[in-house]
Chain A
């Protein structure tokens, strides 16, 4: 499968496992993510997809396995290195924007935080970048000094995306980014995300239970059940011609809706 021109994958995962006592969080997960590629991870709740994501993003320590980012061993990194990485080259979009935003701080401050964390010290430039990013996520520039609490759910989610992308990360983790939004709001957000991913050449690991979301965004798909990957491949192929019984069940249940 991996016959792409790039020399090396951006993210490389081998034999990853995480246990909660004797219960399996996820086990035996291996995959490569290439620059500019969107990998969708689907499965029901409890399938291990969120555990996998939090291990990849460094929120949890896996019990076994290896994670390499751009050739660097993530699990061997010191905490300062890991945290610096997670606010420069990596980003994390939470399902609930309240988990990813500072609700008591203006939209501009939310976008500017990552810039200031890596040393930006010019107020005018930080503000300009903030305005630029508000435009890119379709929020009126006049709202720059408003707090996210005054925003609708869809706007909060778009703001969270802007706050994450402002430092031009190479890899973005997304946890159900459209969950909890109305269908029409979801469609707009997906459209926006698709544009940003394409324009910025982002690599994305996207966790969702919504097959419509992966069909629109993901190049490749991984199906998880009971902590294990049961099927993976090109998105259209997996969705149109599912091999594993569980994937067939997932796809058919969606088609019924």
Chain B
């Protein structure tokens, strides 16, 4: 009954009770544990951490459980929790060159120092449903492990290009980047701020934007210079100590693209860079981010103005956050009858005025 919108205190309580019941599902089936979600739905957990901007697999798993598997809802829970956390300080920049990689590939070289490391990837699987997984209690066959030596100090591919000045020098990056969660987004944004917004941005939105650049809407001719996934240590400087100490480890996906070169009569041509960095194992997101990052850099690289959605900073940054998007989209479910009432009266009046003077009404 529509009356439920007014006088709704009990209705809300009941709806919440029902939701809780639905969330649990059939009680004859064992409930999921946080550990099960964390271990077996890891890529969902990773996405929730990335877009929720909070690295905590247990909390992300809890959010997924509470959200009944709705990842955007889970991201929302994490964001709302994150915002209440006190901020003690910031870490030093993480050194992805010292990442302990589980996966590291380059599309621009056949082979290279450090090697091509496929890691746990879906890439070359055949997408056939594995009905064996439907049977419970099967033991996993252990994967053979190679000699892991040297995988925690793999050189960056971009370094090879940089040594020959074939690619633009990496940005200086000594400045403290602005913080999107503590300061309002001011446009135009610098690259650090853009990357921050993209790192929190919706994977699907960035995927579509990146895809659109590949289809000619702001093409940047991207090659994957390097994609690497693995653990990095996080260090922070404590004022009391005066030096940095290790405070933990996080898993990251990093993508660097080599893009179409610029140059002019005075400046020799050079490849340009796109960059993506995401919490967890989220390579689709990292790739998308680096393509969109590169597309957004057209102005600073002196490229000519040709409008495309992925090159439009204001458009991309204003719409990439799925928590903002879903909130505003879904708010149209709220009652709007006061406004609708005044529209109703307006339309009635306009219709009456339109019909009467011409005498069309008989």
Contacts and interface: CB of A to CB of B under 8 A. Distances in A.
Whether A and B touch directly in their complex, counting CB atoms under 8 A apart, is answered as yes
Interface of A: 21-22
Contacts of B264: 21
B336 interface: no
Contacts of B265: 22
Nearest to B267: A21
Contacts of B266: 21-22
Nearest to A23: B265
A21 B267 CA distance: 12
Q: How large is the interface on B (under 10, 10 to 19, 20 to 34, 35 or more residues)?
A: under 10
Contacts of A22: 265-266
Interface in B262-289: 264-266
A22 B264 CA distance: 10
A contact patch SS: loop
A146 B106 CA distance: 58
A78 to B, nearest CB: 21
Nearest to A21: B264
4 contacts: A21-B264, A21-B266, A22-B265, A22-B266
B244 to A, nearest CB: 44
Interface string B244-267: 000000000000000000001110
Contacts of A21: 264, 266
Closest 4 CB pairs of A and B: A22-B266, A21-B264, A22-B265, A21-B266
B181 to A, nearest CB: 33
A98 to B, nearest CB: 15
A22 B266 CA distance: 9
Nearest to B266: A22
Nearest to B264: A21
A39 to B, nearest CB: 30
A22 B265 CA distance: 9
Interface string B322-342: 000000000000000000000
A151 B324 CA distance: 41
A75 B264 CA distance: 30
A22 B267 CA distance: 12
Interface string B22-36: 000000000000000
A96 to B, nearest CB: 16
A242 to B, nearest CB: 34
Nearest to B302: A21
A21 B262 CA distance: 15
Interface string B69-103: 00000000000000000000000000000000000
B300 to A, nearest CB: 15
A2 B46 CA distance: 77
Nearest to B265: A22
B52 to A, nearest CB: 40
A21 B264 CA distance: 10
A50 to B, nearest CB: 16
A240 to B, nearest CB: 41
B77 to A, nearest CB: 42
A21 B266 CA distance: 10
B286 to A, nearest CB: 35
B264 to A, nearest CB: 7
A25 to B, nearest CB: 15
A56 B173 CA distance: 40
Interface string B286-322: 0000000000000000000000000000000000000
A203 to B, nearest CB: 32
B305 to A, nearest CB: 14
Interface string B123-153: 0000000000000000000000000000000
A21 B263 CA distance: 13
A65 B5 CA distance: 68
B225 to A, nearest CB: 29
A72 B266 CA distance: 38
B307 to A, nearest CB: 14
A41 to B, nearest CB: 25
A238 to B, nearest CB: 35
A6 to B, nearest CB: 41
A175 B266 CA distance: 32
A168 to B, nearest CB: 34
A145 to B, nearest CB: 14
A114 to B, nearest CB: 27
Interface string B232-247: 0000000000000000
A23 B264 CA distance: 11
